Amino acid sequence: MLLGIVLHASLSYFDSGWAVNDGVDSGFFAVLLIGIHGFRMPLFFLLSGYFTALLVQRRGIAQTAKNRLLRITIPLAIGAVTIVPLTTLTGSWASSSDGDEVSAGEVERPSVWPGVIYGDASVVSAALVDGADPAEVGSDGSLPAFFAVMVGDIDVVATLHEAGADLSTPNIDGAMPLSLAVWAGHSDIAEFIFSTAGSEGVDDIPRENGKRHWEKISWFGDGERDSKAIIEAVRQAVPNPSEPSTINRSLEPWDTGLHHLWFLWHLTLIAGGYLLLIQLRGARTWRPLPVWVVAPSAFIATAGLQMSMWSFGPDTSTSLVPAGRVVAYYAVFFAVGVASYSVRNNGKNWMSQLSKTWIAHVALTAALGGVLWAALDATYGDAPNETWAGVLQTVYTWLMIVGVISLASLLLNTSRRWIRFVSDSSYWLYLAHLPLVLIGQRWLQDVDWPIGLEFLLLVSTLTVVLLISYRWLIRPTPIGWLLNGRPKEHRAL
């Protein structure tokens, strides 16, 4: 959970499409994000499966279901009407103007950006009537039409286009509006951009009942007969345009839905499905599968699902109707966690046998020293290969999981109050951090400090503030009881 703060804080220091960009494109922070994203949530779901199985054995199905409802589903419901809209508003504010004050005697020029940020086409139109530039470059170098495409506001896109905004102009990072519309899942905007750019290539898009199949990215082919905009969309959306994917990737807007709370919804669905399954199975016993069956089966399943993802690591699906391939991917790790609780090797749980120094060294060195870089090259290099990239990314994920569990079992095998406190607080820290990260990134955008210093200041400050808030404002309250149980219940467990 704590790595989530690091991950989101890094997004403003490279071209990630994040709400705030610090004006730099750091390869270090891009790799940092990829390295964390490649294993963090798979490990989380694996551990969730393990402890769900533990709860079922100790408390039974009914009490486990009650526990998951209180700890996961209810916090999600509360967060959906509090943290999620707050994150949306904070993101809109953080990505708006650069905050420069108008000096005395200077006439403030009309701007389309306020209307673009808040998705109000009438405000954009009024600004244009007053003489605003439809292609006014924002504080981070972005164009208004590009931002409107990113958030999926077709009315604003159309208004800007009618005023002269060129939808075939690349953004500061070289990305085309069309490729962004395809990537973000805004098929109506992609259709609009095609219609304004001319009919070339449009007639080749499969139709059914008058609607084009934008959701099937595999249609795009090698781009030989397509316009430059389509070719750019292919280059950014398909790992290897010369060998188009045969897998249907359902497009889904990334910037809406449950934001960073999506994992609670996925966990509710997966854990609920598991509890329902064992309830239907009744008194019949489960026969534990040996490690030599679980390990290769899990690897093959996750590698196959990884090949269906857009980029490095699992996709992020924030919708209430999540992408099936993403849920299935995390369900495999959850199932491995469940199996790990019962699988025995020489009478011992296999996780307990990872507490060896050489295992941590070998797994982490191989993952971070070799496999990660090979996977990056297979994904983003000069000759990307979708199959090889999926296999290498999966190897990296499992090596990191084994290495992190091994390292944790070596360093954290003694009960310490401060470790327990940080562990308990991490849930609250992750739930509450994102609006504060956006505020901090927006403030740091206006200072000229080394980006490493900015990043460390942002992460450390937010962590300390949230730890203090947990200790004094959350833990003694019903919110703390909901997230981690009452203190006396905690001690008993």
Characterize the bridge pairing of strands 207-208 and 344-345. unpaired
- Do residues 279 and 207 both lie within one domain? no
State which of 178, 209, 237 marks the end of a domain. Answer: 237
Task: With CA atoms as reference, report the closest residue to 94 among 20, 163, 155.
Answer: 20
Q: Which residue type occupies 335?
A: A
Has residue 245 been placed in a domain? no
DSSP 259: G
pLDDT of residue 197: 57
Angle (CA) 342 348 349, round 5°: 45
Our measurement of the distance from residue 251's CA atom to the centroid of its chain's CA atoms, rounded to an integer in Å, reads 14
- In this structure, what token pair is assigned to residue 245? 């994917």
* 338-371 pLDDT, tens digit each: 988 876 545 566 677 788 899 999 999 999 999 9
Q: Which residue has the tokens 């164009």?
A: 143
- Do residues 311 and 400 both lie within one domain? yes
- Do residues 166 and 196 both lie within one domain? yes
Has residue 40 been placed in a domain? yes
Has residue 484 been placed in a domain? yes
Residue 249's contacts (CB-CB under 8 Å, 6 or more residues apart) are 215, 217, 218, 308, 309, 310, 325
Cα–Cα distance list, 312 to 222, 243, 327 (Å): 22, 18, 17
Has residue 487 been placed in a domain? yes
- In this structure, what token pair is assigned to residue 457? 């200041």
- Do residues 85 and 215 both lie within one domain? no
pLDDT of residue 171: 73
pLDDT of residue 488: 63
Burial bucket for residue 288 (CB in 10 Å: 0-12, 13-18, 19+)? middle
- The number of residues making up the chain comes to 493
Cα–Cα distance list, 210 to 12, 131, 207, 220, 320 (Å): 40, 39, 6, 19, 27
Q: Which residue type occupies 451?
A: I
pLDDT of residue 347: 54
Q: How many domains does the chain contain in total? A: 2
* Cα–Cα dist 145/391, whole Å: 37
pLDDT, mean of each 10-residue run, the chain (493 residues):
96 82 89 97 97 92 96 96 90 62 52 80 89 83 83 89 86 70 70 64 46 41 38 45 40 61 97 94 68 90 91 86 91 94 63 86 96 94 88 98 94 87 96 96 92 97 97 95 79 45
Task: With CA atoms as reference, report the closest residue to 22 among 331, 458, 360.
Answer: 458
- Do residues 268 and 217 both lie within one domain? no
Has residue 41 been placed in a domain? yes
Has residue 13 been placed in a domain? yes
Backbone angles phi, psi at 109, to 5 degrees: -85, 145
Has residue 476 been placed in a domain? yes
- Do residues 341 and 486 both lie within one domain? yes
Question: Which domain range does residue 366 map to?
Answer: 2-93+257-492
Has residue 249 been placed in a domain? no
pTM beyond 0.85: no
pLDDT of residue 349: 67
State which of 209, 237, 265 marks the end of a domain. Answer: 237
- Do residues 188 and 321 both lie within one domain? no
- Do residues 150 and 114 both lie within one domain? yes
